[in-house]
A and B are shown apart, each in its own frame.
Chain A
Amino acid sequence: MDDLKRRLLQRIIRTMPTQMLKTTLSKWARLNIEQQESLDFTQPKFLLTDQLLALCGESGLGVKHITELEMIYIIDNPNQRLWHAYQLLEAGDDAHSVEVTNFKEQFKVHLTELIRHVSIKIKKHTDEAVWIRIAWGDRSSRPNHLKPTYVVHHLQTPYVFVTNLTSKTMPLLSQALVMATRYSSMKDANLSGRNLSAVRDLLMKQFQQVFPSKHLQPLGKKNQINSNPQIEREQDEQSETRLQIACEAFGGGTLPELQKAIYTLETKLKDNTNKIMTEREQPFRCVVTFKSTNILESLRHSAMTGIASTPVTPMLSSISQKGRNHFLITDKGPGPQRKL
């Protein structure tokens, strides 16, 4: 048990910058002020861990409390993980009346029914999000606190954001969530990114979308810069329409930060002369990945400057309009249609 405590604390402290550690500890509020002040943040981290561990022992704090510390840190710094979005489908009649205490209870009950060794911690954050930390165990082993799954859900919205989920635990989580939120199923929303708020904004449409309008918005910032009467842009109008089109396709203002857009093409060879390849069961796969620190911003810029042709292909504009960055493109005709 002590070993687990040490390893857990070590991991937390290793990932945290020292400055953050101080504020997080005061937020945690498990150590009294004297104890907090006695900590020497200038010493190397392994020494600091020892000192913290000793203090924890002094105050009788266990694994449970240390996971709390981890949770506080993750809530404040969610962007160090890869978040996957899931969508809840078919809301039940009473889905709109679920509130936090109710949800907490239901979720815990359902998940513990499904799997015995599991440790659940639920916390409501100030921005109306419910944060869930789940440490999974299996039939024989205790919950593994070193690889917890984090789930973020805003009540009354059909989206769930999950990090660090394995395919083994996915059905369990899905079932517990569906029961607790009174929906009927949950599916992959095909969206992932490192920036939690970006993933959330994209799905909940909380970024600025641009629509065609009679009153042309002051999008053309270029005009204002170009005040020198001796310099004239011949194709100002065109660049303005390009700007408008680009903003309509990807959104205006600062765009949510996504790191990747992945397109998978699955197709079969159709060639009468080559029977072996045509009759191959497995389709050919071609994966195209766009990577950038902010993929939407990059795409918008290329549409704006005319590097990408306008009007923008729905393949690209679907990222912001449908809120997803994994696309599977399959052959038309029998079988699954192009999933866009």
Chain B
Amino acid sequence: MSTLGVLGHLSKLETQARKRKEAPPQQSGLEELKATVEALVIQRDQLKAEIKANESVQKLRSEDPDQSTGGGEELGEGADGSDGSVNSQLLQLMARHAQLTDLLHAHHLIGGYDIIKTCQGNGLCVSLATSYEGVYLERYSLEIDVAPKLRITRHDVPTFVPLARLAEQGGALQTNLRGFLGSLSRHLNGYAGRKQQLKLVKEQHKSVEVMESNAPCSILILLMTVPQVKDIAVLCKLDYTDHTHCLPEEVTIQSEDKDLLETTQWKNNCTLLKETPLHKALATLIQSGDIK
């Protein structure tokens, strides 16, 4: 110690002091790093597990691309087998899910239409699904010849849908198949929606009498009763001029009691009928006691 001298002693003290100063932050830094390592390790393990799962999912998919129900089948191969069937079942479900998502994506890419080749590639068969409020309704199909030019050979679209006009409009069929299918699909969905609404009205609101309807469900005449001192009959005519829509463009109301129709309440009811689907509008009217 003495050999160091004063300066040596001082410098020693200095380093000691520095050490003392640095030591606490270092320690906390270490802990932080340790925590990071731990987190990273966990993350790595997670990723590893994910990779493993993904790999086995891929393997499953490549093994059996057309597997329809993966859930119930036992795999019993490699490491997965020892994990028990729950794990492998899960994997199979994941594989199935991934496959379906891919299919759905592909389906969206081609515009949401089911198209398949027929006649050794000389024809197409397009099938359009209709839906209303999340319920799938009828499917309609078109068979189209490709050569020499696109031509609809067969279809099961209802007659009142102006198929020929839609196909001709600006040569839609030849040049803009997607546009054509889009407008056709709007027509069909409009029809399906109106039909479904009418069906729901007939089912849910027995008190409202459907006096008249036609094949495309584009004109509806309803007979409603307004409960007052004496029941008043109200005739309501809904005109769906635009066949691609499921809401009426025109609502006319007739009644013997002219004053009733002039009230703001009934004017509001008219707009309600115009703006909401028929079965819901009627439900609201019945709830508010405007009609029976």
Contact = CB atoms under 8 A, between A and B. Distances in A.
Interface of A: 96-97, 99-100, 124, 128, 154-159, 203-205, 209, 211-214, 321
Contacts, number: 63
A155 B215 CA distance: 7
Contacts of A209: 141, 154, 156
17 contacts: A96-B216, A96-B241, A97-B241, A99-B221, A128-B213, A155-B214, A156-B214, A156-B215, A156-B219, A157-B160, A158-B159, A158-B160, A204-B158, A209-B156, A211-B125, A212-B125, A213-B125
B125 A204 contact: no
Nearest to A209: B156
Interface of B: 114, 116, 118, 125, 127, 141, 143, 154-160, 212-216, 218-219, 221, 237, 239, 241, 243
Majority secondary structure, A binding face: loop
Contacts of A214: 114, 116
A211 B127 contact: yes
Contacts of A203: 159
A187 to B, nearest CB: 15
Nearest to B127: A211
A96 B243 contact: yes
B46 to A, nearest CB: 38
Contacts of B155: 205
Contacts of A156: 160, 214-216, 218-219
Contacts of A205: 155-159
A214 B159 CA distance: 26
A214 B116 CA distance: 7
Minimum-distance CB pairs A-B, first 8: A211-B141, A209-B156, A212-B118, A155-B214, A156-B214, A212-B125, A154-B215, A205-B156
A61 B160 CA distance: 41
Given A205-B156, A211-B156, 14 more contacts: A96-B216, A97-B239, A99-B212, A99-B237, A124-B212, A128-B214, A128-B215, A156-B215, A157-B160, A157-B215, A159-B159, A204-B158, A209-B141, A211-B125
A46 to B, nearest CB: 41
A214 B205 CA distance: 40
B104 to A, nearest CB: 15
Contacts of B215: 128, 154-157, 204
- Max count, chain A CB within 10 A of own CB: residue among B156, B216, B241: B156
Contacts of A211: 125, 127, 141, 143, 154, 156
B213 A99 contact: no
B39 to A, nearest CB: 48
Nearest to A91: B162
Contacts of A213: 114, 116, 125, 127
Contacts of B214: 99, 128, 154-156
A156 B241 CA distance: 12
Given A128-B214, A211-B143, A213-B127, A97 B219 contact: yes
Given A212-B118, A213-B125, A100 B212 contact: yes
A159 B158 CA distance: 12
A98 to B, nearest CB: 9
Contacts of B127: 211, 213
Contacts of A157: 159-160, 215
Contacts of B159: 157-159, 203-205
B116 A212 contact: yes
B219 A321 contact: no
B61 to A, nearest CB: 19
B125 A99 contact: no
A99 B127 CA distance: 32
B89 to A, nearest CB: 25
Contacts of B156: 205, 209, 211
B167 to A, nearest CB: 16
A158 B218 CA distance: 15
A315 B237 CA distance: 45
A155 B159 CA distance: 12
Nearest to A314: B153
A107 to B, nearest CB: 16
Nearest to B243: A96
Nearest to A155: B214
A211 B127 CA distance: 9
- Max count, chain A CB within 10 A of own CB: residue among B118, B125, B159, B218: B159
